Amino acid sequence: MTSPTSHTLASLAQNMGGGSGLLTAWCGMTDPIMAGLLAREFDTVTLDMQHGCYDIASITNSVAHVAAAGKPAIVRIPVGQFAIASRVLDLGASAVIAPMINSVEDAKAFASFMKYPPIGERSWGPAIPLTMTGMAMGDYLKQANKFSISLAMIETRAAIDALDGILSVDGIDGVFVGPSDTSIALSNGAHVDASHPDVTKTLDHVVARCKAHKKFACCFSPTPAVANDWIKKGYDLLALGTDFMQVRNGARAMIEQVRK
């Protein structure tokens, strides 16, 4: 039988923590070849169902291409659609990011779909994870709660106020800061500026509280320079740009070399 320590599905939980500074690609385009390509560059790939174009079929295909590259996949679900969290775990995701978690109640609802009893109420049906790992059903039931990572997004004033409560919820493994929405919330809609000093203060506060609770600190980083700072400050996982940005920036850089 395959040991849980040797399979891709559990590799994210094993490699994350202690300010590991893992880098995740962030895909909104649904082409599985793009996800597989980026999986070969990054530590992991996040597939975005909130603002990206994914549905369940394209998540299934992209998770398979990421797994074929030997890397774990993360899925961001749409706001409040926690049932999709269980579904994407059943499709082979190693972690789920839930946007706009604004209260302890939101966090508990999210955790209940991520974890099997006694922590939550995830329903049984992991055909794809069993196939991917070769695990026996009983082993998967015992171990999946540990390696299926639930990340609650902190990106509103209410979420910042409820941070300690959210981090205290059994079944929430960490938080993921959305700096763009945070900047909009903190400025009452005046601007979107992921690098604003008020967002930086929030990011400092969040990593300190995560360390106090021994939970994962993760964030979205719009630029490599900022990502480097956040790795030094102890973040465990950073999203670095998006597939849209990478394709556009790559195209522009090549065209500029020709036309300069």
The DSSP element (H or E) to which 48 belongs, if any, is: strand 44-48
Shortest gap between Cβ of 59 and ligand 3PY (angstroms)?
17
Contact with ligand 3PY (CB under 6 A) among 54, 220, 230, 235: 220
Site string for ligand 3PY, 149-168 (x = CB under 6 A): ------x-------------
Contact with ligand 3PY (CB under 6 A) among 43, 90, 106, 181: 181
Nearer to ligand 3PY, 61 or 180 (CB): 180
Binding status of residue 181 toward Mg ion by CB under 5 A: yes
Binding status of residue 103 toward ligand 3PY by CB under 6 A: no
Binding status of residue 28 toward Mg ion by CB under 5 A: no
Shortest gap between Cβ of 178 and Mg ion (angstroms)?
3
Nearer to ligand 3PY, 132 or 218 (CB): 218
Q: Helix 8-15 vs helix 137-147: angle between axes, to the nearest 10 degrees?
A: 30
Cα(233)–Cα(43) distance, integer angstroms: 19
Return the one option of Mg ion, ligand 3PY, none that residue 220 interacts with (CB less than 5 to 8 A, by type). ligand 3PY
Structure token pair of residue 209 = 């509280």
Number of amino acids touching Mg ion (CB under 5 A): 3
Closest C-alpha among 224, 218, 217, 214 to residue 245: 224
Check: CB of residue 48 under 8 Å from CB of residue 246. Answer: no
Check: CB of residue 29 under 8 Å from CB of residue 53. Answer: yes
CA dist list (Å): 198 to 8, 65, 102, 238: 37, 38, 19, 19
Nearer to Mg ion, 4 or 178 (CB): 178
Cα(256)–Cα(201) distance, integer angstroms: 36
Contacts with ligand 3PY by CB under 6 A lie at 99, 155, 178-181, 194, 220
Interface residues with Mg ion (CB under 5 A) are: 155, 178, 181
